[in-house]
Structure 1
Amino acid sequence: MNQRQTTSALPLPPSLWAATAEPPVPAPPLADSKAVDVAIVGAGFTGLSCALHLAQGGMSVCVIDANEPGWGASGRNGGQVIPGLKYDPDELLRRFGKEDGEAIVRMVGGAADNVFNLIERHRISCDATRNGWIQPTHSEKLIGVLHARARQWQARGAPVELLDRAQLAKRLGTHAYIGGWIDLRAGSVQPLSYARGLARAAIAHGVAIHGATRATKLEASESGWRIDTAHGPHIHARQVLLATNGYTDGLWPRLAQSLIAANSFIVATKPLPDEIGQHILPGRAVASDSRRLLLYFRRDAHGRFLMGGRGPFREPRDAADWAHLERAARLLYPQLKGVEYEYRWAGRVAITRDFLPHVHLPAPGLAIALGYNGRGVAMATTFGKHLAAHLAGVERGWPLPPASIEPIPLHALQRFYISAGVAWYALLDALS
C-alpha cells in the first residue's frame, strides 16, 4: 500500500457513553513518516496514560490507533474505578513474596487514586464520582471470604467497611444480597469522556495522536523500532509500547493467543423518575457482586440504571443477547419492571490465564501491557504511569514481574471452552 491510499476507521459503536461523551479530540490519520522517542500502539487508557506521563517528562511521543481514542474497551466499559486485583493482598504476598508482594499491593491499592488525581490535575470532564464500590454476595458460604478481603485492606489502612444484610440493603436499595463490603477508595467515571480527556491532556503536552492508523508491521531497526501502517507512513521510535488489550491482533507473535477477549455486555435504562430511582443505589456507589459470572451495576450522572455482565462470545446480533441482564435487573429491583432500556452495547475484556495483568518485555526497547480482567479503568491508568517511568528510565524493575508470552492451549477453540466455562460457572453460582 502507498501513502495515497485512503485511511478508514470503524465507526464508534452506539452506546450510552458514545451518546453522552465529551466531544472527540482531533486525531487525524498519520500523514507523514516521523521519528519519536516512544511510539504507542493503542489509544486506550494504558496508551494514553503512558503517553501523558512520558510527555510530562519531556519525551516525544506518538500514539496510533486503528480507530479513534477510546474506541475499544476503554470507551465501552462500565466506568467503575476499582482499586486492587482479583487476588487479595495476602494471596499476592503468598505468590510474590513479602517484599515484592507488598509493592504490588501498594501499586494496585493506589490505582483509583491515580485515576482521580489525573482527572483533578488535568480538569477532565467525565462525571467523576467517588462514592465507593460495593461487593455484595447472595451466598452464606462467601460472606467470610468477602469480610476477610475487607479486613486485609483495613489492615493496610484502606477506608473499607464490612456490611451486614441491613446495611447492604440500605446502600444498594435491594434485599437480594445478604452481606458484603464497601471500598471507599473507588468510584465511577464516564469512561469515554475520561479516555478523551486523557487524550486531550496528552495533546496539550505535545503528544501526537493519530486515529484511523492501523499498525501492520513491527520490526527492530538500527535506531530502535519501525512501525509500518496500513496506509503507508511509518514511525521510527527508540522504544515502543503495545497497548491493545482485548483488541490485540497479530502485530507481535503469539500475543493475541495469550489472552481471551471475552465480550462484556451492558444495558442502560432511560433516566429513572424519582419515585423509582430514589431507592436504587441512593448513595451513588457502584457495585459488582461475588458471582463467578458477576453482575455489575451503577447509576449514571443523569439517573439511568446500568447493568452489566457476560454475554455470548460472538458479537451481539439483537436485543435478545442482552435480555438476561434486563431480567437480572428486574430481580434485583422489581420496580424496574416496565422501564424502557435506552442503550445496549458490548466490548471486549482481556482475560489472562492467571487472572493477573501482564507486562511483557520481549525485546530491548519493546514493552507490552494487557489483561486487566475487568479492572481496566484503574489498573490500565496505573500501568500506563509505571510504563512511562520504565520507558523513561526513571523506574527500574517493575512491581509486577514481567511475564513471558505464553499462548493459551487450544486457543483457537476459545469460543467453545468459554461457552463451557460459562455454563460451569453458572452451575457453581447456582449451587453456592
Structure 2
Amino acid sequence: MPPPPGTDPRSHGLWAMTAPPAPETAPLSGEARADIAVVGAGYTGLSAALRLAEAGARVVVLEAAGIGSGGAGRNVGLVNAGLWVMPDDIVATLGAEKGEGLLALLGGAPAEVFALVARHAIACEATPAGTLHCAVGRAGQAEIEARAAQWQARGAPVRLLDADAARVAIGGGTYRGALLDERAGTIQPLAYARGLARAAMAAGAVLHTASPVGAAEETAGGWLLRTDGGTLAADRIIVATDAYSFGPWERLAREQVPLPYFNFATPPVPERLRTRILPGREGIWDTRQVLTSLRYDAAGRLVFGSIGALGALAGVHEAFSRRALARLFPELPPAPFEAAWYGTIGMTDDALPRFRRLARNVVSISGYNGRGIGPGTVFGRLLADVVLGRSRAEDVPLPEREVAVPRWRAAQAAFYAAGSAAAHLVGERGMG
C-alpha cells in the first residue's frame, strides 16, 4: 500500500510540498450503505464519484491510503491527448468504431480536465499551453511526422515545428523537431486529485481514506466490502485502483508490468531566464525509449523526469538529470534539487487500457501506460455512466478480455529498471 501523500518525501515530493491541503476525511468505521462503492481515490475513482454524486446517487469512496496516493499524486503532470499508441494503430487493433471512438474520447480528455478545473475552481496550477513531443534522431522525427499526420487527418490542432522552431520554443536542445499539441498542457497532479475529491464531497459523495478493502463478498442484494474498521454494503462497485491494486482485485496490477518513473525539481529558475527557457510554458517529452520529460511548476521550478526508481540507483538518475539539464540549458545556475520522488507506471502488453466487468455489477478500467490524467478523468465519467445505466458496457471503446498475468512479468520489470539505469549511467545522453 502506498504511503499517504506527504508522509514519504520520495513518494510525492514537490506535489505534497505545494498542493493545497486535502479535504478532511476519516477511515470507514462501523457499517455503511451506498448505491455505488468506488474503490480508489485517484483520477478515475474521483471523477466517477463526482459524476455519480451529481446524478444523485449515494456514493462512498474507499481509499487504502490518502487521496492521490498512487499514480495520481506522483506523475509529472502532463495532461496529454491520446495514448502512446499511434492513432492508426489503435484503429487497426480495435476496429473503426471502437478505435475512432477511443481517439475522440481521449483527444478531448485535456479539454474535459481543464473544464472540470474551471467549473469547480480547483487550484491546481492548470496551464493549457500545449505540449511538445520532441524528436530525437531520424527515427524520432519520422515518429512525430507520422503522429502529426494521423492526428491532423482527424482534425486535431497539432503541428510540426522544425529544428530551429523547436529550439526557440524549448530554449535549447538539438532536437530534429517537435510536435506541438495545442489540446494539452500541465497541472499540479496531486492538487488536481485533491480538488476532484473536494468537488465530489461537495456534491454529496462520502470519502473514507486509510480504508483498504480486504475482502469483497457478493450477497443476495449486492456486495459487502470489508475494511479494517468496518463494512460497506453497495449495489454496484467501480474498481479504480489500477497499478496500485491489491487485495480482492490484485490481479489488475499483476497483469501490468511495473515501470518506475522519477522526478526531480530544481529551485525556481531566475526570472531573467524564464523568458527564454520554455517561454510558452509547454510541457515537453521526447521520443527516446527511455524517455525524459520536463515542465515548469507555478513557482518557476523545472520538473525533470525519466524512467527509473530512486532507490539504490538514485545517484545514477540524479547525476543523469543534472547532466541533461546542463546540456539543455547551460546558462541554468547549478543548484541542489529541491525535491525528488517516484512512482509506478503500469504497462499492458499492447499499451492500451482495459475495461473489465470483474463480476456482477463490478466494473473497472485500468492500464493507463503513463497516461493517467486525461484518460483517468474521462474513463471515470464513463464508468459512472455505465453503472448509472446511462450508457451500455458494450459501448465502452476499450478492449475487454480476461485478466492474464504476463509470464515474464518480474523479468520485464527488472529489465526496465536495469535498462533505465544503464542508459542514464553511460554517456552524455542529455535531452537533445
Normalising to structure 1: TM-score of the pair?
0.92
Aligned to 2:290: 293
Supply the AA of the counterpart residue of 2:21: P
Deviates more, 1:376-385 or 1:272-281: 272-281
**CA 370–316 in structure 1, closer or farther in 2 if over 3 Å, else same:** farther
1:424 and 1:317 map into 2 onto residues whose CA distance is: 10
Aligned to 1:212: 210
**CA 272–11 in structure 1, closer or farther in 2 if over 3 Å, else same:** closer
The superposition leaves residues 208-252 of structure 1 with CA deviations (integer Å, 9 ceiling, x where unpaired) of 001111111112111111111023x01111111111122112322
Contact 1:173/1:282 (8 A) holds in 2: yes
Aligned to 2:64: 66
2:320 and 2:276 map into 1 onto residues whose CA distance is: 23
Contact 2:345/2:370 (8 A) holds in 1: yes
Supply the AA of the counterpart residue of 2:113: V
**CA 141–412 in structure 1, closer or farther in 2 if over 3 Å, else same:** closer
Aligned to 2:351: 355
2:402 and 2:352 map into 1 onto residues whose CA distance is: 13
Deviates more, 1:415-424 or 1:274-283: 415-424
For residues 32-111 of structure 1, what are the structure 2 equivalents within 5 Å? 32-111=30-109
**CA 109–418 in structure 1, closer or farther in 2 if over 3 Å, else same:** same
1:306 and 1:39 map into 2 onto residues whose CA distance is: 35
**CA 415–32 in structure 1, closer or farther in 2 if over 3 Å, else same:** same
Aligned to 1:281: 278
Contact 1:263/1:315 (8 A) holds in 2: no
Aligned to 1:308: 305
**CA 424–327 in structure 1, closer or farther in 2 if over 3 Å, else same:** closer
**CA 46–112 in structure 1, closer or farther in 2 if over 3 Å, else same:** same
1:392 and 1:267 map into 2 onto residues whose CA distance is: 41
Deviates more, 1:324-333 or 1:63-72: 324-333
2:117 and 2:129 map into 1 onto residues whose CA distance is: 16
Aligned to 2:127: 129
Supply the AA of the counterpart residue of 1:152: Q
1:163 and 1:9 map into 2 onto residues whose CA distance is: 41
Q: Shift in Å at residue 422 of structure 1?
A: 4.1
Q: Shift in Å at residue 417 of structure 1?
A: 3.1
Q: Shift in Å at residue 315 of structure 1?
A: 4.3
Contact 1:62/1:207 (8 A) holds in 2: yes
Aligned to 1:416: 414
For residues 140-219 of structure 1, what are the structure 2 equivalents within 5 Å? 140-219=138-217
For residues 231-270 of structure 1, what are the structure 2 equivalents within 5 Å? 231=229, 233-252=230-249, 254-270=251-267
1:202 and 1:94 map into 2 onto residues whose CA distance is: 37
- For the pair 1:382 / 2:416, whether they are aligned, the reply is no
Contact 1:47/1:243 (8 A) holds in 2: yes
The superposition leaves residues 285-330 of structure 1 with CA deviations (integer Å, 9 ceiling, x where unpaired) of 0011011111010111111111001113x74675554332222222
Contact 1:250/1:256 (8 A) holds in 2: no
2:215 and 2:167 map into 1 onto residues whose CA distance is: 53
Gaps of 5+ in 1: 1-7
The superposition leaves residues 335-391 of structure 1 with CA deviations (integer Å, 9 ceiling, x where unpaired) of 235133111111121211211111211211111222111111111111101111111
Contact 1:82/1:375 (8 A) holds in 2: yes
Aligned to 2:338: 342
1:402 and 1:12 map into 2 onto residues whose CA distance is: 37
Aligned to 2:8: 13
For residues 364-379 of structure 1, what are the structure 2 equivalents within 5 Å? 364-379=360-375
**CA 9–176 in structure 1, closer or farther in 2 if over 3 Å, else same:** closer
Contact 2:308/2:421 (8 A) holds in 1: no
Gaps of 5+ in 2: none
Supply the AA of the counterpart residue of 1:250: G
Among the aligned pairs, what percent are the same residue? 38
Contact 2:316/2:421 (8 A) holds in 1: no
Contact 1:219/1:227 (8 A) holds in 2: yes
The superposition leaves residues 250-279 of structure 1 with CA deviations (integer Å, 9 ceiling, x where unpaired) of 322633320122221000111111233331
1:109 and 1:424 map into 2 onto residues whose CA distance is: 34
1:40 and 1:404 map into 2 onto residues whose CA distance is: 21
1:266 and 1:100 map into 2 onto residues whose CA distance is: 34
The superposition leaves residues 175-220 of structure 1 with CA deviations (integer Å, 9 ceiling, x where unpaired) of 3211121000001111111111100000001100011111111121
1:138 and 1:10 map into 2 onto residues whose CA distance is: 35
1:382 and 1:10 map into 2 onto residues whose CA distance is: 24
**CA 243–37 in structure 1, closer or farther in 2 if over 3 Å, else same:** same
> SS at 2:258's partner residue?
strand
**CA 329–393 in structure 1, closer or farther in 2 if over 3 Å, else same:** same
Deviates more, 1:287-296 or 1:146-155: 146-155
Supply the AA of the counterpart residue of 2:397: P
1:12 and 1:51 map into 2 onto residues whose CA distance is: 25
The superposition leaves residues 28-66 of structure 1 with CA deviations (integer Å, 9 ceiling, x where unpaired) of 111221111111111011100010011111111111111
Task: Give the counterpart of 2:403 among 402, 405, 417.
Answer: 405
Supply the AA of the counterpart residue of 1:303: G
Contact 2:162/2:178 (8 A) holds in 1: yes
> SS at 1:29's partner residue?
coil
> SS at 2:340's partner residue?
strand
Q: Shift in Å at residue 87 of structure 1?
A: 1.3
Runs of 4+ in 1 over 3 A off after TM superposition: 8-12, 314-321, 412-415, 419-427
Supply the AA of the counterpart residue of 2:292: L
